[in-house]
Amino acid sequence: MVAGVDELWLQSVVSEETAINQQLQAFFPNERLRLYQTTTPFPVEWLTLQEQAFFETLKHPNRQASWLLGRTLLKFLACQQSDLVPLGVENPLDTIEAWHFPHQQCSVSHTERVAYVLVNLNQQSAGSVGLDVEGMSRKPLSLKALGYLLSEAERMDLQRLQLENPEERWDLRYWTAKEALYKATPDEHQGNIQLNSWQMESLNNVGMSQAQAVTKTGVLLTGRVFNTVTPCLQSRCSISVALVEDLKKTRLLH
């Protein structure tokens, strides 16, 4: 127990997404990806003074709840995987703010009542990971949002998928895939790349899509994104996991 945080409590409220992790192992055999989830918010009274000060800046109850859910998972990782915390941090449980996001080895996402965290235990990996989760019950994306999200070829592919299987929320599945790719984009490139810059292969029901993007400075990035739909409390959610490799040494000619 550290600063009132009980590791046994954290273990009891965080569960591993075993079925999805088996799929991730099959699609990313050279990585050690693990996905965890929780529905239990971290107790406010256990927060450090620094955390409490930040918590008080969150005015909306939904924002407070989702932040506490994410805090549960980060505290859990601090207990389980201390190597994710920057060097020089004496007490990982008390200094989650020292973690820099986007983090090459882990990514956090949430719906209204469930939070997920993805961690890559392969410390030698050359790729950066990203995770995004969306509840499938949210309203359809607007044409403006789709324009920001998809290329012209992807919008045509979306229309085809919607005609072939109108019961599926392909817009949200594309959304989570693109967001996961963006969150996995190496930090030095995130400022000069947009979601519709990531060009993806067509999505399918469960599986992997290849993707690539060219930054404004001419750097080619390659990625792989896994997407699936899974039960999420009383509903369903779309989960996308991305791995992006930075090929900045291979610059394209203009």
Domain end (from 75, 94, 125): 125
Give dist(CA 202, CA 184) in Å, integer. Answer: 19
Same domain, 170 and 232: yes
**176 and 144 within one domain:** yes
**Which pLDDT value is given to residue 252?**
47
Using CA atoms, how far apart are residues 44 and 92, in angstroms rounded to an integer? Answer: 18
The pTM of this model reads 0.90
The pLDDT of residue 85 is 61
- What whole-number distance in Å separates Cα of residue 105 and Cα of residue 119? 6
Q: What is the pLDDT at residue 253?
A: 43
Same domain, 212 and 152: yes
Residue that finishes a domain, picked among 76, 93, 125: 125
Q: Write down which residue in 55, 90, 125 finishes a domain.
A: 125
Task: Give domain status of residue 199, yes or no.
Answer: yes
Q: Which residues is 236 bridged to in the sheet?
A: 231
102 inside domain: yes
Taking only the tens place, the pLDDT of each residue in 157-172 is 999 999 999 999 999 9
| Tens-binned pLDDT, residue by residue, of the chain (254 aa) | 345 578 899 999 999 999 999 999 999 999 999 999 999 999 999 888 888 888 999 999 999 999 999 999 988 988 887 677 655 555 555 556 556 778 889 999 998 789 999 999 998 999 999 999 999 988 999 989 999 999 999 999 999 999 999 999 999 999 999 999 999 999 888 888 889 999 998 887 668 999 999 888 888 999 999 999 998 887 899 999 999 987 765 544 44
d(CA 224, CA 241): 8
CA 149/CA 137 separation, integer angstroms:
19
Q: Is residue 85 part of a domain?
A: yes
Q: What is the largest CA-CA distance in the chain?
A: 57
Is there a single domain that holds both residue 23 and residue 49?
yes
Same domain (yes/no): 27, 117: yes
The answer to whether residues 168 and 98 belong to one domain is no
Domain co-membership, 101 together with 209: no
How many folded domains does the chain comprise? 2
C-alpha of 171 from chain center: 17
**Any domain includes 186:** yes
> What integer pLDDT is reported at residue 101 of this predicted model?
77
Write down the pLDDT at residue 95.
54
**Per-residue pLDDT at 89:** 52
104-142: pLDDT as tens digits:
899 999 987 899 999 999 989 999 999 999 999 889 999
Count, in order, helices (H) and strands (E) of the chain. Answer: 8, 9
Which long-range CB contacts under 8 A does 111-114 form with residues at least 24 apart?
Answer: 111/135, 111/232, 111/237, 112/62, 112/65, 112/66, 113/39, 113/65, 113/69, 113/233, 114/37, 114/38, 114/39, 114/69, 114/232, 114/233, 114/237
Q: What is the extent of the structural domain holding 64? A: 1-125
Residues 141 and 198 reside in one and the same domain: yes
Q: Are 120 and 1 found together in one domain?
A: yes
Report d(CA 83, CA 29) in Å as an integer. 22
- Residues sharing a CB contact under 8 Å with residue 145, sequence separation 6 or more, in sequence order: none
Tokens read off for 206: 């469960």
In the structure encoding, which two tokens stand for residue 163, read together?
């005609």
User: Does 2 share its domain with 91?
Assistant: yes
Same domain? 117 vs 135: no
